[in-house]
Amino acid sequence: MSITIRTHRTNFFPQLGKPKAYLVYIFYDKHVSWEFSIRILMSVFHKSREKAEIITNDILTHGEGLCGAYMHEIAESKAKIVEEQAKKEGFSMWCLIEEV
């Protein structure tokens, strides 16, 4: 019985690069309540109360705040949740997703 010996190794799993990260920013162009912003940051982005207050301060004083970096699908879903909840509660808040 003959035995076949493979001299080179076939890579069945292609080398996957590191997934791209996407930054999610919250913007507003009208009145947004402090409480709403804190609640969104804590529930959607899982920020601590302290971090949520810092980001909310940026949103309300500078018009935008960085919420975090996520894979594309996660960034999109978080942005969609924020925008839908803001619209539902009558606030003008929207998100920007930016590739890093």
Q: What is the pLDDT of residues 3-36, one digit of tens each?
A: 545 555 556 666 677 888 999 999 987 788 999 9
The pLDDT, as a whole number, for residue 4 is: 47
User: pTM score, two decimals?
Assistant: 0.80
DSSP per residue, 13-33: SPPPPPPPPEEEEEEESS---
Task: Check pLDDT > 50 for residue 46.
Answer: yes
How high is the mean pLDDT of the chain? Answer: 88
Architecture of domain 22-99: 2-Layer Sandwich (3.30)
Q: Which residues sit opposite 28 in a β-bridge?
A: 93
Percent of the chain's residues with pLDDT above 90: 69
